[in-house]
Structure 1
């Protein structure tokens, strides 16, 4: 094997004339020579989705959504108090009806709806369980939790107006605020964020 053979792949490379570029190595400043080097061209910059964060949603719970969750816990506390008051009241009226000898007191106690008081106590317990489940699911829940919280806030506001007007003013305000905070753009972005 001779190194002088031009077709020998293991041979010595041919000598270049001075001032001419080598094969496959274009020189800077020559027309048609790439200016940034070899390889793939650089990629365009990555576009961020609407909202400014990668992943398409907020990574921390917005303050309005967190406030709605705190309001749900306040409603849980108020429902505990209401259930205790109605339950204790129903038990006291029932016990007083059975033990009184005064006909006037028996007539007044007989007019009190003990069954309705027990029903309100049971409803308050069911409503506090519903509020607690929603408050717990705010961190990981999706759009279904958002819709359930909207329904909860609207029904709470309606119940604060009609049957329990005087004691329901707090529930009215909290229900409206929960529905507004969960239904706004921050709430929509939080509950519709992608979960990985």
Structure 2
């Protein structure tokens, strides 16, 4: 990412302005064009989550909001936004617990060097998850269309054996699904009963 910039809309859960600027500056130095908002309470977080975000960075120990509480609020909103904890007080055991609860990564404030790499990876993986989700939704729609089609539809394997038939196939040919599946689809060996 050295010679290009990547726009990044970041929600930052942090109470220290200095730490926010260090994070934003680090990302800017590594090719991110960051637009961001800082929140430090549960109410501010809930309000901010009504907007679209590319990524969420969170400190773990804030005076009015703990990291696991923030993560719970984010996931309650059913948000598939990458969450990276950036903290100086997080231990290995806590970090593992947060990742099991849905955080994608954690970076220590005193070793922020891998933040840009983690950010790029999580943005890419979130994009891939969104593409898979969209493909699954499209597949469900296509499946529904095939099931409800008035025309006979059957699917064969590479050897010409029937693997699937829709309800219209059963109505139009007189063959039940379990009778048709496994049969050869060639016209002269598999004909309509009607």
Given the two structures, how large is their TM-score scaled by the length of structure 1?
Answer: 0.26
Larger % of strand: which?
A: 2
Larger % of helix: which?
A: 1
Which structure's relative contact order is higher, taking Cα pairs within 8 Å and 6+ residues apart? 1
- Structure number with greater Rg is 1
